[in-house]
A and B are shown apart, each in its own frame.
Chain A
Amino acid sequence: MSAAAPLLSVRDLRVGFVTEGGLLQAVDRVSFDLRPGEVLAIVGESGSGKSVTAQTIIGLTRSKNSRIEGSVNLGGEELLEADDTAMRRLRGEKIGMVFQDPMTSFNPVYRIGNQIVEAIRAHQGGVDKATARQRVVELFESVGIPNAAQRVNAYPHEFSGGMRQRAMIAMALALEPEVLIADEPTTALDVTIQAQILRLLEDLNRQRGLATILITHDLGVVAEVADRVLVMYAGRVVEEGTLDEIFYDPQHPYTWGLMGSLTRIDRPRPHRLPQIAGSPPSLLDLPEGCPFRARCPHEFSKCPELPGLEARLPEVPDHRDRCWLTPEQKREKRQVEGQIGLEAPAEVRRA
């Protein structure tokens, strides 16, 4: 990736929620940059803080129960300090958002077209309904909804899941934002439809140069479209790097686990599908040190201390992870654990 100036820059973002049981630290010191035209994937199990991160960027987690710190900078504007009116203007106009479940993300009582018209007119009051409507038809065509002129008059339940997600994307694009955040955009869809939606996102990214944050728990999705990958666990980034780095030389045992749960057709099937044992810790009561250590098969004496997010491979400064093991140990253990990564020759990986 070239070092173009980042469009969106998140620094030390912390999001906590006050609950009866204490402060729930959903996101802890997350930092990343999103450059124009780039697809950044944020990967993790549910509860890892990836959706909260995304929703915080557009100010949807603001409430009297939430504690938000750090910095979110979009084109020079500090979003965490922006007032509600400024945030409102920015939603949709600068940042479009696509949600996981297209079934429930449209209001069932309004026609889909009108819901998008509503979005357009909320920002551009001067646009009359007919013009806005015409724009929706064009948008529908551009995201591949057939019979666009008729379909704008349909109600959400008259759309199939895949069509609804296309309409959702059309809505996110309606005001030509610079950034698109797609929060698990394919999770609720059938596998074949998933591929179509991913292709659509990829095309949009290519044609419009749309910077995209793709949030998912599915590394298969990541492999298809992402440029860079951020792996999150228990509210923290545990590994980040380019797609190739993460796939061919994953450094964090949690990432290995995620990869292990991928079935791959280019490998002999393991006799037992590997999976990560146990479940993530409670965010109200995180253990000292590395949050993954309770589930990690490679825990050792250093783990009770929290490792920093650092580049541990001297040749690859933008590949960072939070694990105390040395790169050699990692390579060795990874091979034993499940034949993950490493098959690509080192030259490919560094190319």
Chain B
Amino acid sequence: MAIDPQPEATVPAGGPGAALPAEPEGGSAGYGPWRLALRRFLRNRVAVAFLILFALIVLFVLAAPLWADHVAHTGPNETHTLQKLHVGDEVREVVTPEGKPIGPQLFAADGKFFLGADSRLGRDEMVRLMYGGRTSLFIGVVSGLITTILAVVLGLLAGYYRGWVDSVISRALDVLWSLPVLLFGIAIGTSLALGGVTIGPIHIEGGSIWVPILIISIFYTPYVARPIRGEVLSLGEKEFVEAAIAQGAGPLRVMFGEILPNLASTIIVFFALNIANNMLFEAALSFLGAGVQPPNSSWGTMISVGEELLTTQPLLAIIPGLMIMLTVLSLNIVGDGLRDALDPRSKIRFEAHTGTAEPEGAAV
């Protein structure tokens, strides 16, 4: 890339990233930046492994209805408190008279109560884990989408128009950014728990999962919008934007046609990391009771239910926690991998610094 003897590359080299290496395959010509990024990403074994892990988690939660209907023969919210379970010749109680739920049966009862029952309500933990994962992932992804859209629109407006539009948007983002996120999330979650909220034509019920989605997507917008604004500011000074304006392109054309495509790599990286953060936030809210409302489950609510039985059935709290961790870990690593693949300079800066002097030559 930077090795091509381009005329504009005659700026004094020697700064960080001056020694940006070419693709080892030699010819970077002929490949688009996306293909190069893809190749760099695929070479990062760890990131690919965790991408596969994330895909498996998604498949796992998508398979929830299949497991519920064909293996467990029960739904996520069905209680089995007084029922008995036939394990081979033995008959076991789903919940003992003392209120202790049955432990993991794996395939002893043909997959019923694979991970045991969740509480004295005797719900199938495995089914709840799968459905809860759906909720958690759904909230994470949808909030991520909303955050991204909000952040891109605000960042584009602020960075493109500058002046007072920028001041207003930036100030608002600063205020939002300085609020204690969890406390406000709790405040909104609890105050909406009773009657929900009506925004124009949209009505959201108190117990709806759209309440946490709304909270999460609004509070995480500044974290994405601020870097995007910064990038739009610098892109606005590039020749191709000026050229587009000179050719009479309107503001919308310039913002969405010229600038937006150049933000793509930033948006992709932030999206992956954002989903991870959203899921942690959702789990925190739900754990405290201000997020997903019963009887619906999410991994966060399952931990708070399981935590009460920590001494006797520790897995009830640990397994959903582990699921959150694996999901978040895979998203974080994939996000890091995407950043390295899409913005190789950042990686150079991180890893090739060992020489105190950069060779001047490469980029010239």
Q: Do chains A and B touch in the complex (CB under 8 A)?
A: yes
Is B359's CB within 8 Å of the partner chain A? Answer: yes
> Quick check: is A34 within 8 A (CB to CB) of the other chain?
no
The B11-50 residues at the A interface (CB cut-off 8 A) are 12-14, 19, 21-24, 26
Complex-state Cα separation, A283 to B19, whole angstroms: 11
A64 sits at the interface (CB 8 A): yes
* A328 at interface, CB cutoff 8 A: no
Chain B interface, DSSP helix/strand/loop, else mixed: loop
B-contact bits for A200-235, CB 8 A (1 contact / 0 none)? 000000000000000000000000000000000011
Q: Which residues of A contact B14 (CB under 8 A)?
A: 46, 51
Nearest B residue (CB) for A217: B12
> Majority SS of interface residues in chain A?
loop
B3 at interface, CB cutoff 8 A: yes
Interface assignment of A316: CB less than 8 Å from any CB of chain B: no
A47 with B364, Cβ < 8 A, contacts A19-B19, A21-B22 known:
yes
**Does A19 contact B362, Cβ atoms closer than 8 Å?**
yes
Contact with A along B185-199 (1 / 0, CB 8 A): 000000000000000
B257 at the interface (CB under 8 A from A): no
B60-86 with Cβ < 8 A to chain A: none
- Number of B residues near A (Cβ < 8 Å) is 27
CB of A122 closer than 8 Å to a CB of B: no
Q: Are A47 and B360 in contact (CB under 8 A)?
A: yes
Residues of A within 8 A of B352 (CB): 19, 65
B21 to chain A: closest CB distance in Å?
3
Distance in angstroms from B209 CB to nearest chain A CB is: 46
Contacts of A60 in B (CB 8 A): 356-357
Would you call A63 an interface residue if the criterion is a C-beta within 8 Å of the partner chain's C-beta atoms?
yes
Residue A280 is within 8 A (CB to CB) of chain B in the complex: yes
B361 in the interface (beta carbon within 8 A): yes
Contact in complex: B359, A52 (CB < 8 Å): yes
Assess A20 versus B361: contact at CB under 8 Å? Given A46-B13, A47-B13, A60-B356. no
Say yes or no: A51-B21 contact (C-beta < 8 A), given A21-B3, A24-B362, A279-B364: no
- Asked whether A98 is an interface residue with its Cβ less than 8 Å from the other chain, the reply is no
8 Å CB interface, A37-66 against B = 45-52, 55, 60-66
Q: Are A63 and B5 also in contact (CB < 8 A) when A24-B361, A26-B361, A283-B362 are? A: no
A50 to B26, CA, bound (A): 27
Given A17-B355, A26-B359, A46-B12, 19 additional A-B pairs, CB 8 A: A15-B359, A19-B19, A20-B21, A21-B23, A24-B19, A26-B361, A46-B360, A47-B13, A47-B363, A49-B361, A51-B360, A52-B359, A52-B360, A60-B357, A61-B355, A61-B357, A278-B5, A283-B361, A283-B362
Nearest first, the 9 closest Cβ-Cβ pairs linking A and B are A47-B364, A20-B21, A63-B355, A21-B22, A283-B361, A19-B21, A26-B359, A21-B21, A55-B357
